[in-house]
Amino acid sequence: MDQKPKLSDIHQGDSLPSVVKQITQKDINLYAEASGDFNPIHVDESFAAQTPLGGTIAHGMLILAYISEMMTEAFGQSWLSGGKLSVRFKAPARPGDTITASGKIDSIEHKEGIPYVNCSIESCNQKGETVITGGAVVKL
């Protein structure tokens, strides 16, 4: 993780290493305890069942953590101190879902001699529905 990728190893169109995770209510409860976010939509099954969502959903930041894991795997230290993302949470991730974080390199541009890698990123569930979509930029 201390390493930064070499620019010569990065190419437009390359796929980023996917991260696959299965979501359980136990994972969601653990995340609530770790983060302190006990919004009942995540942890109170009887409350969540009465909302339009019809049941509990995972924290958006939990699902986003899988995208960050993928970006760390791909870009190491450059992601930790030079990464930027902008995403929309399009659909809820629910207990029982299998979430795949994936991405690809859209372009590499240079600004004042510094290379920036532009990526499209997303997370999908096992039905192929997009849960998170957006973009990320990494300064190398």
Q: Which CA distances in Å does 23 have to 30, 62, 108, 116, 126?
A: 11, 10, 33, 33, 11
* Per CB under 8 A, 46 contacts other proteins: no
Which of 72, 100, 118, 120 touches other proteins by CB under 8 A? 72
Which of 46, 81, 111, 112 touches other proteins by CB under 8 A? 81
Query: Which residue number, 13 or 49, has a Cβ lying nearer to other proteins?
Result: 49
| Unique residue bearing structure tokens 């990320």 | 136
Residue 15: both structure tokens together: 């796929």
Report in angstroms how near the CB of residue 87 gets to other proteins at its nearest. Answer: 6
Which of 60, 108, 116, 118 touches other proteins by CB under 8 A? 60
* Per CB under 8 A, 82 contacts other proteins: yes
* Per CB under 8 A, 140 contacts other proteins: no
Contact residues: other proteins, CB under 8 A = 1-2, 21, 27, 30-31, 33-37, 39-41, 47, 51, 53, 57, 59-62, 64-66, 68-69, 72, 77, 79-89, 92
